[in-house]
Structure 1
């Protein structure tokens, strides 16, 4: 069953001669319990797709449904409530409050929703990302990778049915990236979490069940059970100006990077 479904979704910014089409009649489904990576060149529409799918932006045309609810039928207050109860977000910037401890940062979404954080739920979320022993540490006392893991715990604390991740490893070194991607993969395989991740990195995309490629606001192909070298080849093939030799070289480089992970 598709827990997130886009049907003929278009998104246009601006009007008249200055209008820019970010998404052009995109139809996509994201099955529950799956891990999907969304990739494409800058301007391909991948971030707009994530924002529309998560209810952060309303499409110009078409429909988006999350957990069986048509988002276009919701008022802003109901849409906000659905996001708080059903959706979790992870971004490249950790967005942690520097004056708060890890456990206080994790509990913040519950406080914003008007609930008193359950200490057991907060500790369970931190334990899920391997940071139960860092609960009382503030962001400045944590590495970048640890801060991103706190951000993942924060996204998990309300038990969302869908996690949207926008370049979650973009600011991390390779070792921290491996740890974060391993956590995301475990959430899917071990706990049935649904994850939709925008990334530019074929190695990151190789942790997903499926890769969706976008070009000029349209779906330009999909790849099931990806590996980094095949993802790299698909990305370079989307650019007709890229010579075959560069495609092969890029694929080999990503394969080497994946092997080192």
Structure 2
């Protein structure tokens, strides 16, 4: 089990953003988290990734109980064992694609093995764009650079928050197909928040949240239609 949440509760004042969530995420799986606004999707992602501490309960990533770590320990874990892909690409505009991908290694005080960064860019089909800065790349290319950056440290798990939210339909499908291949070909564990049934249909499993609780789950051969129908019935 790469990621496990056990009876996780997160309150803000008197409001429970998460209310006793228990869920496991296996290696080599892509899970989509869905639910209406205010259902707890982002809070679940933040608690699972160590960006926020739960009020109660336990989060375990790759065998490490996050509750046992101080802030420095959490920072090191996020830097070395977790990858992030956000709706906003968050690339450094002054750096090239190659330099952006290498940034997590530099921040960790590590140097990239020869060819490692170009190999990461090749994985996302952008090794020929390594010297381009973000303003010379399309939105889809920028998101692919962000994916390569998330994977450069070979993290135990990648968290994605609306990863195709700024992309057009065709580019979204290309990026989602790439994420799916990374899971299938490299055994990557990926947890993705989305509101879009088409995006969720690329997952192995969809977890539905409502009022901070898991209210339903969908597995098997997923389609946008089956996800949308389940959303209509639960959210």
TM-score (norm 1): 0.88
Partner deviation per Cα, 1:90-113 (whole Å, 9 max, x = no partner)? 000000011110000001111111
Which is higher, the Rg of structure 1 or of structure 2? 1
1:236 aligns with 2:232: yes
More helix, by proportion: 1
Alpha-carbon distance between aligned partners in 2 of 1:5 and 1:202, rounded to the nearest angstrom: 24
1:227 aligns with 2:223: yes
Alpha-carbon distance between aligned partners in 1 of 2:78 and 2:92, rounded to the nearest angstrom: 21
Which position in structure 2 is the counterpart of 1:32?
27
Q: How does 1:1-261 map to 2 (within 5 A)?
A: 2-14=1-13, 19-225=14-220, 226-239=222-235
Alpha-carbon distance between aligned partners in 2 of 1:127 and 1:22, rounded to the nearest angstrom: 40
The unaligned stretches of length 5 or more in structure 2 are none
Q: CA deviation at 1:134?
A: 0.4
RMSD: 0.9
Ranges of 4+ aligned residues in structure 1 off by more than 2 Å: 116-119
Question: Does the Cα contact within 8 Å between 2:82 and 2:155 map onto a contact in 1?
Answer: yes
Q: CA deviation at 1:119?
A: 4.3
Partner deviation per Cα, 1:122-164 (whole Å, 9 max, x = no partner)? 1111011000000000100000000000000000111111010
The unaligned stretches of length 5 or more in structure 1 are 240-261
Alpha-carbon distance between aligned partners in 2 of 1:139 and 1:79, rounded to the nearest angstrom: 29
Question: Does the Cα contact within 8 Å between 2:198 and 2:223 map onto a contact in 1?
Answer: yes
Q: CA deviation at 1:116?
A: 2.2
Which position in structure 2 is the counterpart of 1:251?
none
1:187 partner SS? helix
Count of residues in correspondence between the two structures = 234
Alpha-carbon distance between aligned partners in 2 of 1:151 and 1:44, rounded to the nearest angstrom: 27
TM-score (norm 2): 0.98
Which position in structure 2 is the counterpart of 1:247?
none
